[in-house]
Structure formats: structure tokens, C-alpha cells
Amino acid sequence: MGSESESPSKRTWVARAAGSLAVLIGTRKGAFILRGDKTRRSWKLSKPMFLGHIAHHLAHDPRDVRSLLLAARTGHLGPTVFRSSDFGKSWKEAERPPAFPKAPEGQKGLVLDHVFWLTPGHATQPGVWYAGSSPQGLFRSEDGGRTWDGVSGFNDHPMRSQWTGGAGDGTPDGPKLHSINIDPRDPNHMYIGMSSGGVFESTDGGKDWKPLNQGCAADFIPAPDPEYGHDPHRVLLHPLMPDRLYQQNHCGIYRMERSEGKWIRIGRNMPNSVGDIGFPLVLHPRDPDTVWVFPMDGTEVWPRTSPDGKPACYATRNAGKTWQRLDKGLPARAWFTVKRQAMAGDVHEPVGLYFGTTSGEVWASRNGGASWSCLAGHLPEIYSVEAAELK
């Protein structure tokens, strides 16, 4: 596995690999792993893991390559996290899963409905993981997911309720904290996204947070240019250019250069007939100007299917000035949705892309989206897709 020239202890990002890889799939009815060889032409689907569990996110630890964490619950049972140190052969449940603190007598406390998001921590902090939840909460583990504590600087922040809009405000299946980004230069510098709430930044390891939404539309809020209350669907910083952020928002596709401090709606350059609404967002591992999105229909009642039922990925190679439609091999007509955590890229050359659909298909491209093929079908509704580079 190749890596950037800087010391791995200082940089999390592996920018190029040529070995075998795996696609990690979280679904409404359990988790699956697609194992691929280094050519990315031969794939083998695992048996279901945790069949019947709602697997919100199956995430890989690139620091030790073998560890996986799974955010799960069932229709009846409360939320938990399972962890594997042998790439899914065996699992153990977290001994203390993420949970909000018990409220003082007579007060109403938050109840964690589900863990929605899992992100491994900085390269210099092995064993550290972060989790985002519904309702919006941020949690941290320092022992590889065995025990979890709330990040009090966020969960108990006096503005949290206002930032998130309270319990009644959020996406139809529950308000969520997602898109946890750690600055590869500084483990104390973090970004999160909240639906609803917006993008927030911490520069002190999560002790305090500030909204970072200037320039981003929130056309569902009566007030013009609100400071918070936005609906980012996916937020990413580029590991090789960490002062550049991208987000796929409820109200379009945006880029921010931190030196400018303002979101620019690069989705305005998408074709009008397609628009710039969608859930997922993928960055090129070696080119901060290249971004892939998967647009969806955000008109009227928000079908969230592809515009006109014609699935397509779109790519920009110039940081959003122009966009190219990439649909070769995809169905001419289909009515699935690609959820916010259900699209990912690998770090091979050319870059491989993977997305999962609500209709249970996994699609892949070995050439940066130029052509697509279906790797797996007839799976349950897909909630998350991650590409894991193996040694």
C-alpha cells in the first residue's frame, strides 16, 4: 500500500493503493462485505452479518486495517455498536455503547434512538473513534469502540437545542449528526454536519463548537441567511487540502475555502434539468478539484429518486466550475435513492467508485465513473457503503 511521503504518524490519509479491497455495506436488514481482488474485477459477497438488524453504518479502521465497527439496532431493541478486530469474522458488542447522560430527577433527558455515523479518529490517536447519533449527539471512544463517552462540549453545549432545532426538527427518519471530519494536520480540529443544524467546527478537540454556514442557503427557514439550522447531507474536507470543504446540502452543492470563510454554491453550474440536490458526495483522493455527486429529485414532495428516473453520477474536475454526466452502464430508468452515506471511493488509479441503492443494488466503476457495472443485487435497502483498502 502506498502512502503520502509525510510520516504516517502525522498523516491519516493513504492517497494511493493497488492491493485488494472490500466494500462494506450497511443495510436495513444487516451488513455485508464485498471482497474484491486488486484488479477490482472479481468480487465475492459475504453472508449477511447481523441479519435482521438495522445496520446504519459499517466502518473500517484504516489505521490497523483489520478493525470494523458497526452501528446497529433492531426494530425493537435499542442502539448499540459492535466491533470486530478480524475484519468481520467475529464480533463483540461495545461494553458501554453511546448513550446520553441520565437527566436529573424531574428533568427530561435525551434518548439516543440510533447511532448513525462512525468515523475513525486521527492517525496519531489509535483506538479513537467518533460516533454521530440521532438525535444529534457526538460520542468518542478511546479504546477501539469498547466504551463510549459523550463529547460534552457538544452534547451539553448551551446552544445545542437551538442549533439542532430540538427534538421535533429534523429529517423524516430522525435528526442526525453525521459527516465527522478530523483535520489530518490537527486531531483537535474537527467538523461535523447535522441534519438539521448545519456545519459546525471545533478547534479544541470538541470542547466548543461554532457554526460554519455563511453563504449556504436554508430556504426552508423563514429568516434570511440564518447562522445555523441548515441541512447538510454530506460534508467532507479534502485530506490533501484540509482548508477546502465540500458539502452536498439540502439546498445544493457547495465548496468553501477557509481563507474565504463562505460557502459558494458550485451546484449552480449543474444542468438546470438535473439540479444540485442529492445526498452523497465523494472526493478524489489525489485531486482536490475532483468531486462526484449523485443528484436526486428534490422538487415538490421530494421523491429523492434520480431526476426523471434517470440515474447518473456527476463529476466536476475543476472544483465545481463545470460538471460531467457519468451514466454509462447504469439503468436507463430506475427509481432508487442513494443515501448520504451510501457512496464511496477507493484510492486506486484510476479511482473506483461504489454506491448502494435503496433497491438493494451495489454499483461500481473502476474508472472514476466513466462506466458502471452492478456488483450485487437483491440486497436489503442499502444505508451505507464504504471502500476499505486491504493489505
Partner 1 sequence: MKVYIPTPMRSYTNKKSVVEAEGPTVGAVLEKIERRYPGFRFRIIDEQGAIRRHIKIFINETPIRNLEAASQPGDAVHIVCALSGGI
Q: Pick from 4, 14, 28, 203: which binds partner 1 (CB under 8 A)?
A: 28
Q: Pick from 12, 80, 84, 341: which binds partner 1 (CB under 8 A)?
A: 80
Interface segment toward partner 1; rule CB under 8 A; list 68-76, 123-131, 295-303, 351-359: 68-76
d(C-alpha 8, C-alpha 170), whole Å:
38
Q: Judge residue 338's burial from the number of C-beta atoms within 10 Å of its C-beta, 0-12 exposed, 13-18 middle, 19 or more buried.
A: buried
Q: For partner 1, which is the closer residue by CB, 89 or 92?
A: 92
Q: Pick from 2, 8, 19, 78: which binds partner 1 (CB under 8 A)?
A: 78
Cell of 12: 491519516
Q: For partner 1, which is the closer residue by CB, 106 or 222?
A: 106
49 is an interface residue for partner 1 by CB under 8 A: no
Interface segment toward partner 1; rule CB under 8 A; list 107-115, 161-169, 316-324, 349-357: 107-115
Q: Pick from 62, 100, 264, 367: which binds partner 1 (CB under 8 A)?
A: 100
Q: Decide: helix, strand or coil at residue 156.
A: coil
CB of 85 to partner 1, least distance (A): 18
CB of 195 to partner 1, least distance (A): 22
The dihedral built from the CA positions of residue 152, 158, 164 and 168, taken in this order, carries a sign that is positive
194 is an interface residue for partner 1 by CB under 8 A: no
Size of the site for partner 1 (CB under 8 A): 21
Q: What are the residues whose beta carbons fall under 8 Å from the beta carbon of 93, sequence distance 6 or more?
A: 80, 81, 82, 83
245 is an interface residue for partner 1 by CB under 8 A: no
Cell of 335: 427509481
Are 127 and 143 spatial neighbours (Cβ–Cβ below 8 Å)?
yes
Are 2 and 15 spatial neighbours (Cβ–Cβ below 8 Å)?
yes
Q: For partner 1, which is the closer residue by CB, 112 or 343?
A: 112
Q: Pick from 30, 97, 144, 280: which binds partner 1 (CB under 8 A)?
A: 97
95 is an interface residue for partner 1 by CB under 8 A: yes
Contact map string, positions 108 to 127, toward partner 1, x by CB under 8 A? xxxxx---------------
Interface segment toward partner 1; rule CB under 8 A; list 59-67, 72-80, 138-146, 235-243: 72-80
Q: Look at residues 333, 341, 339, 330 and name the one whose alpha carbon lies nearest to residue 369.
A: 330
Q: Pick from 103, 166, 260, 349: which binds partner 1 (CB under 8 A)?
A: 103
75 is an interface residue for partner 1 by CB under 8 A: yes
Query: What is the phi/psi pair of residue 283, to 5°?
Result: -105, 150
d(C-alpha 348, C-alpha 353), whole Å:
10
Which parts of the chain fold into alpha helices (H)?
Answer: 152-155, 160-164
242-245 contact pairs (CB < 8 A, 24+): 242/183, 242/184, 242/185, 244/288, 244/319, 245/181, 245/191, 245/199
The total number of residues shown for the chain amounts to 391
CB of 302 to partner 1, least distance (A): 20
102 is an interface residue for partner 1 by CB under 8 A: yes
Query: What is the phi/psi pair of residue 191, to 5°?
Result: -125, 150
Interface segment toward partner 1; rule CB under 8 A; list 98-106, 221-229, 270-278, 308-316: 98-106
99 is an interface residue for partner 1 by CB under 8 A: yes
Q: Pick from 39, 74, 152, 162: which binds partner 1 (CB under 8 A)?
A: 74
The contact set with partner 1 (CB under 8 A) reads: 28, 74-78, 80, 93-95, 97, 99-103, 108-112
